[in-house]
Amino acid sequence: MVAKPIQEIPLAPVACCTPVAAPDITTEQADVLAAIFKALADPHRVRIVNLLANADEPVCVCDFMPQVGLSQGTVSFHLKKLLDVGLLEREQRGTWAYYSLKRDGLDRLADVFVAKED
């Protein structure tokens, strides 16, 4: 059986920084923001993002297991959720996958919460 490559879903709010306080937010913009918030709404995923934010280099999926106390399959599930919304980058090295944050995406995601001043 041939494994399907992991596909990354483009992250519109990180790319365009649609503020929550923007007037007339579209349904599509709200859907994409909700997907990101949903991905970050799990404590294990927040912990994974925290570990990556403090890592000097990409982290192997195997290195998350003792840190978050989850099995490899469960860690991979959580990493995939974060990858799908565009918060992570994935690099394959042999049989192991290594993950890192898309730091510019996190910086732009912070702009989503900036209220527009009149």
Using a 10 angstrom Cβ sphere, with 0-12 exposed, 13-18 middle and 19 or more buried, the burial of residue 46 is: middle
Which of 24-28, 29-33, 45-49 has the largest mean confidence? 45-49
20, pLDDT greater than 80: no
Q: What is the pTM of this model?
A: 0.76
If you average pLDDT over residues 67-93, what whole number do you get? 94
Q: Is 59 in contact with 51 (CB distance < 8 Å)? A: yes
Give φ, ψ of 22 to 5 degrees. -65, 145
If you average pLDDT over residues 1-16, what whole number do you get? 43
Who wins on pLDDT, 57 or 118?
A: 57
- Cβ-proximal residues to 42 (8 Å cutoff; 6+ apart), any chain: 78, 81
